Amino acid sequence: METAEIYAKTELGLRELKERHLNLPVPLRGLLIMVDGSRTVADVLEKARALRLDGSALEALEVGGLIAKKFSAPSTATNGAETPSRTEDEVERFMSGQQMMSDAINRHMGFRGYGLMMRLQKTANIRDLHDLLREFAAALVKRIGMDKATPIVSEIEALIDPRQ
The predicted model scores a pTM of 0.50
pLDDT of residue 164: 54
Q: pLDDT per residue over 45-84, tens digit each? A: 998 888 888 889 889 998 988 998 876 555 454 444 455 5
Q: Which has more pLDDT, 8 or 81? A: 8
Alpha carbons 160 and 153: distance in angstroms, whole number: 11
Alpha carbons 106 and 99: distance in angstroms, whole number: 10
What are the sequence ranges of the domains in the chain?
A: 6-71, 88-160
Q: Are 60 and 2 in contact (CB under 8 A)?
A: no
Closest CA to 124 of 76, 157, 89, 70: 76
Q: pLDDT per residue over 96-142, tens digit each? A: 999 999 999 999 998 888 989 999 998 888 888 888 998 999 999 99
SS3 assignment, position 83: coil
Torsions phi, psi for 66 (to 5 deg): -85, -25
Alpha carbons 26 and 138: distance in angstroms, whole number: 34
Alpha carbons 162 and 156: distance in angstroms, whole number: 10
